[in-house]
Amino acid sequence: MLNVVSNQLKQLIIVSYYESLDSCAKQLDVKINAMREYVSYLEEKRYQIFNLIEKYTIELDNKYIDRIEDFKIAYANKIDDHDLVWLQEQINKLESDSAKIDEAIQCTLKQIANAIAERTMLSEMNSLL
């Protein structure tokens, strides 16, 4: 009787162990997919920011050219215009945002690599038993 109970407990522990490993593996798969989607979102946002930077840079250049032509100013760097200052501030802000996005992408890619390593380890543990 004791032997039967002992065998059933062993079976219960083994089944519980495998179910636990499977549950952890599934959670890691979900986490990895979510992080990959986040990286895709960040890359799309970075692309949009680069487009805005390009647009504002072209607009800024055009405004400088217009001011030079309109006022026959020899040195464009002496122009004191709110539009020019605003555009330059926007470009600087967007470049800062882009750097932050690059940093977030790198951090998330490292997290993905760690989660994949953890998932691989769980798979190897599961195959050993």
pLDDT (0 to 100) of residue 71 = 67
DSSP string, the chain: -HHHHHHHHHHHHHHHHHHHHHHHHHHHHHHHHHHHHHHHHHHHHHHHHHHHHHHHHHHHHHHHHHHHHHHT-S-GGG---HHHHHHHHHHHHHHHHHHHHHHHHHHHHHHHHHHHHHHHHHHHHHHH-
For residue range 50-91, list pLDDT tens digits in order: 999 999 989 888 887 777 777 665 555 555 667 778 888 999
Candidate from 5-14, 17-26, 68-77 with smallest mean pLDDT:
68-77
Candidate from 40-44, 106-110, 118-122 with smallest mean pLDDT:
118-122
Whether the pLDDT of residue 47 is over 80: the answer is yes
